[in-house]
Amino acid sequence: MSTTPHRTLPKYSATFDRHTISEIQRAAATGIYDIRGGGAKRKLPHFDDLLFLGASISRYPLEGYRERCGTDVTLGTRFAKKPITLKIPVTIAGMSFGALSGPAKEALGRGASLVGTSTTTGDGGMTPEERGHSTILVYQYLPSRYGMNPDDLRKADAIEVVIGQGAKPGGGGMLLGQKISPRVAKMRTLPEGIDQRSASRHPDWTGPDDLEIKIEELREITDWEKPIYVKIGASRPYYDTALAVKSGADVVVLDGMQGGTAATQDVFIEHVGLPILSSIRPAVQALQDLGMHRKVQLIVSGGIRNGADVAKALALGADAVSIGTAALIALGDNDPRFEAEYNALGSTAGAYDDWQDGRDPAGITTQDPELASRLDPVLAGRRLANYLGVLTLECQTIARACGKSHVHNLEPEDLVALTIEAAAMAGVPLAGTNWIPGKSGF
């Protein structure tokens, strides 16, 4: 009688999982680290770990579809002669012409303008198309100063001094040569086709004392008209927020590690910085300790996907949120209709993140004219406007259920956490308890 040996199924290691093994194999074959776009893809404590309580006997809800729930936000009330008012508390994050195609930048401007919010330039300067299609445009002031000039500075509605971004706090950037078209090269005063390094440090100031003087210079050049934002990658949110306020910022932009980048090392994206959930309360605490909460506005970003995320960020104390990755998806990034082309690039719709290599089938993260022409900026702008509208409606739905006549009236007391980690990070009670780890007894 023959005997068949009993064998268990092949066992994959939790430590050396399939992706880890493929990365080791890739590194061994190529000798270079993996560069990609996007933000952290690992599982992180996030807004999904929070829940709203809604109204109850002790809380009175507002009538959905009937009673007004305001969504407007005014930014730059501290020093600027001309603060900007957005109709919705969702803005479009800085993304460069160069990283993105011209039609993509135009679509972002069109979509944001349709719903009364702002869009933001990126590394590489301001294009006329972008200015023309953006009712409210924030001009980023970056370490590289690519394309930086005082005429565009004066054309902007606000200025964002970029210290860092969530995907790579402490890192600069590299726009690879295949995306350096003649126009991109000219705007950046660099030869065509070379890999362009974006500096990680500003060239003419170091530290918060200098930053204060730099901000003063920008205000002098623009006659104190423009709101000045300071954007930081989430790493030391309490101190960085406090120092930004001390330096004279009108608005602090705080970007968590889920926030996307055009191109950075995967190891940097996944292992440096903080998730946005853990960063909002320390930043708000800094503002409160300085008596500046709601006087210096706080915009947070990094993994905002739906109106619940918006509502939770506002409830934790932010004045507005910013979206980048979600906006690109709304334009058409990772569209399943390009599945065959994603497959040809070794990826699949929903996972495509090679934004650095300029071969984006959706025509968004590319400078290839044929690919870029695939994106209809009018249609894509409409999609973005639709999406921004949904985010706002969803946020209002939740706010009304919590009895709020304005989304800014959401507060931490409206929230509980599903995990101990989220409770500690967000500073709200673990669901079913009064326990806020680190703050109150169990």
Partner 1 sequence: MVQFDLAARPLRELNAALHALPLNTNETHWEIINPDGKHAIAAGLDAPVTVEIKGNAGYYCAGMNQVATVVVHGNAGVGVAENMMSGRVHIRGDVSQSAGATGNGGLLIVEGNASGRCGISMKGIDIVVKGSIGPMSAFMAQAGNLVVLGDAGEALGDSIYEARLFVRGTVKSLGADCEEKTLGADERAILAGLLAEAESDASVDEFRLYGSARKLYHFHLDNADAY
Reduced 3-state DSSP string for 181-226: CHHHHHHHCCCCCCCEEECCCCCCCCHHHHHHHHHHHHHHHCCCCC
Q: Tokens in use for 88?
A: 């919705």
Kind of pairing, strands 228-233 and 251-255?
parallel
Can residue 153 be called a binding residue for partner 1 (CB under 8 A)?
A: yes
**Could you tell me which residues come within 8 angstroms of residue 409 by beta carbon, excluding any fewer than 6 positions away?**
399
Count of residues interacting with partner 1 (CB under 8 A): 32
Among positive and negative, which fits the CA dihedral 64, 65, 68, 72? positive
Nearer to partner 1, 182 or 191 (CB): 191
Cβ proximity of 143 and 115 under 8 Å: no
211 φ, ψ to 5°?
-60, -40
Nearer to partner 1, 34 or 339 (CB): 34
Cβ proximity of 274 and 294 under 8 Å: no
Can residue 378 be called a binding residue for partner 1 (CB under 8 A)?
A: no
Q: How far apart are the first and last CA of the chain?
A: 63
Can residue 210 be called a binding residue for partner 1 (CB under 8 A)?
A: yes
Can residue 139 be called a binding residue for partner 1 (CB under 8 A)?
A: no
Alpha-carbon distance 422 to 44, whole Å? 10
Can residue 268 be called a binding residue for partner 1 (CB under 8 A)?
A: no
**Could you tell me which residues come within 8 angstroms of residue 418 by beta carbon, excluding any fewer than 6 positions away?**
48, 49, 50, 51, 430, 431
Can residue 351 be called a binding residue for partner 1 (CB under 8 A)?
A: no
Identify any residues that bridge with 120 across adjacent strands, giving them in sequence order. Answer: 94, 138
Among positive and negative, which fits the CA dihedral 130, 106, 189, 211? positive
Cβ proximity of 320 and 91 under 8 Å: yes
Can residue 25 be called a binding residue for partner 1 (CB under 8 A)?
A: no
Candidates 189, 370, 438, 441; binder of partner 1 (CB under 8 A) is 189
Candidates 52, 224, 238, 435; binder of partner 1 (CB under 8 A) is 224
Can residue 334 be called a binding residue for partner 1 (CB under 8 A)?
A: no
Candidates 53, 62, 148, 418; binder of partner 1 (CB under 8 A) is 148
**Could you tell me which residues come within 8 angstroms of residue 309 by beta carbon, excluding any fewer than 6 positions away?**
47, 303, 321
Nearer to partner 1, 193 or 437 (CB): 193
Can residue 24 be called a binding residue for partner 1 (CB under 8 A)?
A: no
Cβ proximity of 181 and 127 under 8 Å: no
Nearer to partner 1, 12 or 33 (CB): 33
What's the min distance (Å) between Cβ of 203 and partner 1? 4
Q: Which of 80-88, 94-102, 220-228, 329-337 is the region at the interface with partner 1 (rule: CB under 8 A)?
A: 220-228
What's the min distance (Å) between Cβ of 79 and partner 1? 11
Can residue 192 be called a binding residue for partner 1 (CB under 8 A)?
A: no
Can residue 185 be called a binding residue for partner 1 (CB under 8 A)?
A: no
What's the min distance (Å) between Cβ of 187 and partner 1? 11
Q: Which of 57-65, 92-100, 125-133, 214-222 is the region at the interface with partner 1 (rule: CB under 8 A)?
A: 214-222
> What is the residue whose two structure tokens read 């972002």?
108
Alpha-carbon distance 312 to 190, whole Å? 43
Nearer to partner 1, 72 or 195 (CB): 195
What's the min distance (Å) between Cβ of 380 and partner 1? 31
In the region spanning residues 31 to 50, those forming contacts with partner 1, defined by CB under 8 A, are 31-32
Cβ proximity of 115 and 89 under 8 Å: no
What's the min distance (Å) between Cβ of 98 and partner 1? 15
Q: Which of 142-150, 356-364, 380-388, 396-404 is the region at the interface with partner 1 (rule: CB under 8 A)?
A: 142-150
Can residue 355 be called a binding residue for partner 1 (CB under 8 A)?
A: no
In the region spanning residues 285 to 304, those forming contacts with partner 1, defined by CB under 8 A, are none
Can residue 177 be called a binding residue for partner 1 (CB under 8 A)?
A: yes
Identify any residues that bridge with 255 across adjacent strands, giving them in sequence order. Answer: 233, 301
Q: Tokens in use for 45?
A: 């404590």
Can residue 267 be called a binding residue for partner 1 (CB under 8 A)?
A: no
Candidates 221, 351, 378, 390; binder of partner 1 (CB under 8 A) is 221
Can residue 199 be called a binding residue for partner 1 (CB under 8 A)?
A: yes
Burial (CB count within 10 angstroms: exposed 0-12, middle 13-18, buried 19+), residue 347: middle
Can residue 278 be called a binding residue for partner 1 (CB under 8 A)?
A: no
Q: Tokens in use for 395?
A: 């946020």
Nearer to partner 1, 199 or 420 (CB): 199
Residues that bind partner 1 (CB under 8 A): 31-32, 144-145, 148-150, 153, 174, 176-177, 188-191, 194-195, 197, 199, 203-205, 210, 213-214, 216-217, 220-224
